[in-house]
Amino acid sequence: MASKTTTVEPLLKAISFAARKHEGQRRKDGRTPYAAHPMRVATIAMREFGVTDVEVLTAAVLHDTIEDTTADFDDLAAAWGPRVAGWVTALTKDKRLGEARREAEYFDGLEAAPVEVKLCKLADTLDNLIDAESLPPAGRAKAVKKAREILRRFGRGWPARWQGALDVVEARVRGMSGRAR
């Protein structure tokens, strides 16, 4: 990763922004405030994967703001710059497309994305798998299927420095595979 932002100010600003934008939203369990998810994603990126780049952690916190709130690229670019906004855009599904095309374009885009985006997506995937543990079998199976697709696409040409991130998600998928049915 190129130059690292050393101040945590952009990250703290992103946490406040995401909490406001996701206000009133809930996770699939219907109880957990949605804003907990992006905070957990950034925590996973930092604690489990060893990410220290504040811009990557900021993108992790903001990863669902374009897709699930009224925020757009311009909002994020004005506050955090075009690089962070671009990474968040790469983590955003285009809801204007039909489901099959939307999913195909999303996964193709992730596969071609820079490692910073992939690390955010792996952290998102791991948090979704952890959350899926409390879902009925169909919900667990769906989370495992999506995680397998991410792992399949990210496994080729993955930087050795970040192999541990892939390993953590692979271990969770293996642990859930028998229970996901």
Domain ranges of the chain: 9-177
- State the catalytic residue, choosing from 23, 53, 55, 67: 67
What average pLDDT values come out for the chain (181 residues) when binned by 10 residues? 69 98 93 96 97 97 97 98 98 95 95 96 98 93 96 89 94 84 48
9 is catalytic: no
User: Catalytic residue among 68, 72, 133, 149, which?
Assistant: 68
Find the helix packing angle between 115-132 and 163-177, rounded to 10°: 20
- 55 noted as active-site residue: no
Q: What is the pLDDT of residue 110?
A: 95
User: What pLDDT shows up at residue 155?
Assistant: 85
pLDDT value of position 179: 60
Say how many CA atoms lie within 13 Å of 3 toward its Cβ.
4
CA 131, CA 176: separation in Å to the nearest integer? Answer: 12
Domain 9-177 in CATH 1.10.3210.10: yes
pLDDT, position 4: 57
pLDDT at 29: 86
pLDDT at 177: 85
Task: Report if pTM > 0.95.
Answer: no
- pLDDT value at position 6? 62
Tokens of 127: 């948090």
Tell me how far apart the alpha carbons of residues 83 and 62 are, in angstroms, rounded to a whole number. Answer: 13
Three-state secondary structure along 48-111?
CCCCCCHHHHHHHHHCCHHHHCCCCHHHHHHHHHHHHHHHHHHCCCCCCCCHHHHHHHHHHHHH
Tokens of 33: 């405030």
